[in-house]
Chains A and B, each alone.
Chain A
Amino acid sequence: MSLSGAWYLGLAAIVFTIGAIGLLVRRNVLIMFMCIELMLNAANLTFVTFARMLGDIGGQAVVFFVLVVAAAEVVVGLGIVVTNFRRRSTTVADDLNSLKG
C-alpha cells in the first residue's frame, strides 16, 4: 500500500503554488501556458489521490476529461500565440498593449 493521501495532496498543493507563482511572475506567453499545465497536473494528482482514498474510480474519469480539455486548450492557445506573433513579432504579454488608453 502506498503512502497516506496527505503526502500526495501536500505535494500537489506545492506544485500548484509553483505554477501559480510562475503564471503571475513570468511575462512570456509560452511559459505562462506551461505554468497552467503545471497547475492542471497538480489538480490531476489531487483527483487521482482522492480516487484512491475514497475507492471511487470517478476521480480518474475526471482526470481523463481534464487531459482532453488541456489538449484542446493548448492547441487553441498556441494557435493564438502564433497568429499574434505574425502581427507583432513578440510573445511577451506586456507588449500586447494596443488597447492601452
Chain B
Amino acid sequence: MLHPDLLLAATRPTWPDILVFAASAAVILVGAVGVVTSRNPVHAALSLVMTLFGVAVLFIEQEADFLAAVQIIVYAGAIVVLFLFVIMFLGVDRAEDITVEPLGGQRPLAIIFSVITLGGVLAMAATAHWVTGARQVVGPIQGHVTKSLSSPSGEPAQLGKQLFTTYLFAFEATAALLVIAVVGAVVLARRPPTVHADPEDASQSELSA
C-alpha cells in the first residue's frame, strides 16, 4: 500500500500505462477545451462526451471498473442526451457569436485568476503534507474478481457492500433526492394552465404558476 508521502515518487509504470494515460489525457483536454470554445451548443455537448469517455478510461486504469461503467451510462448516456434533448427542443442549436465580450476585461481576468488558482493548487499538492486521518475506513481495494458467486470479491462487490452498510443513510438520501428532482422537473416543465375568462380563476392560476 502506498504512503501519502509517495505521492510524487516514481512507481515504475509500464509503457502501456503511460500510453493509456497520455492518450486519455489528450482526449480529456481536447474535449474540455472544446466545451469552452465551441460556438455551437451541440458541438460543446459532443466535446463533453469526449471528455467523459477519457475520464472513464482513467477510472478503469485506476481499478474503478464499476464507476467507469456508471460514468458511461449515466453521464454519456443520460446527462448528455438530456442536454442534447433540451438544445434541440429549444432550437438553440445554432452558432452564437462569442467574439463580442459583454463585460469589458472579464475574460482576461477570469483566465488570469483561474490560472493563479491552478498554480496554487499544484504548488500545494507538491509541497503540503496531508493530514488524512484514518487512512483506511473500509479496507483496501481488492482488484481481482473471484469466480465464486457465494462470496463475491473485487471492486464492484466491495463498493456495493459499502454502499449498503457504511453509507446506507447517504444512499437512502440520494433516493429521496432523485424523487424530489423528478417531481421538481415535472412541476417546472408542466405547461402553465390555460387562462380562463373568469378573472378570479386567472389570478389563481397566476399565483400557482
Q: Select which of B20, B90, B102 is within 8 A of A82 by beta carbon.
A: B90
Whether the Cβ atoms of B118 and A13 lie closer than 8 Å is: yes
Q: Are A1 and B12 in contact (CB under 8 A)?
A: yes
Q: Is the CB of A28 within 8 A of B96?
A: yes
| B29 CB contact (under 8 Å) in A6, A15, A27, A73 | A15
CB of A4 within 8 A of CB of B114, answer no
Q: How many residues does chain A have at the interface if contact means C-beta atoms less than 8 Å apart?
A: 70
Tell me which of B62, B83, B102, B174 contacts A78 (CB under 8 A): B83
Residues from 32 to 67 in B contacting A, C-beta threshold 8 Å: 32-33, 35-36, 38, 41, 44-45, 48, 51-52, 55, 58-59, 61-64, 66-67
Query: Which of chain A's residues has its CB closest to B184's CB?
Result: A76
Dominant SS among interface residues on chain B: helix
Q: Which of B20, B29, B185, B189 contacts A14 (CB 8 A)?
A: B29
Q: Which residues of B contact A26 (CB under 8 A)?
A: 36, 98
Total interface residues on B, using CB and 8 Å?
93
Identify the closest chain A residue to B79 (Cβ). Answer: A74
With A55-B140, A56-B141, A64-B67 already in contact, 9 other A-B pairs whose C-beta atoms are closer than 8 Å? A2-B21, A8-B58, A17-B115, A25-B107, A25-B111, A31-B41, A35-B36, A52-B141, A78-B86
B118-151 contacts to A, CB under 8 A, are 118, 121-122, 125-126, 132, 135-141
Interface of A is mostly: helix
Distance, CA A33 to CA B83, complexed state (A): 9
Number of A-B contacts (CB under 8 A): 246
* CA A33 to CA B84, docked complex, whole Å: 12
Chain B: residues with CB nearer than 8 A to chain A? 1-2, 4, 6-14, 17-18, 20-21, 25, 28-29, 32-33, 35-36, 38, 41, 44-45, 48, 51-52, 55, 58-59, 61-64, 66-67, 70-71, 74-75, 78-79, 82-83, 86-87, 89-90, 92, 96, 98, 102, 106-107, 110-111, 114-115, 117-118, 121-122, 125-126, 132, 135-141, 155, 158-159, 162-163, 166-167, 170, 174, 177-178, 180-182, 184-185, 188-189
**Proximity string of chain A (14-28) to chain B, C-beta cutoff 8 Å, 1 when within and 0 when not:** 111111111011111
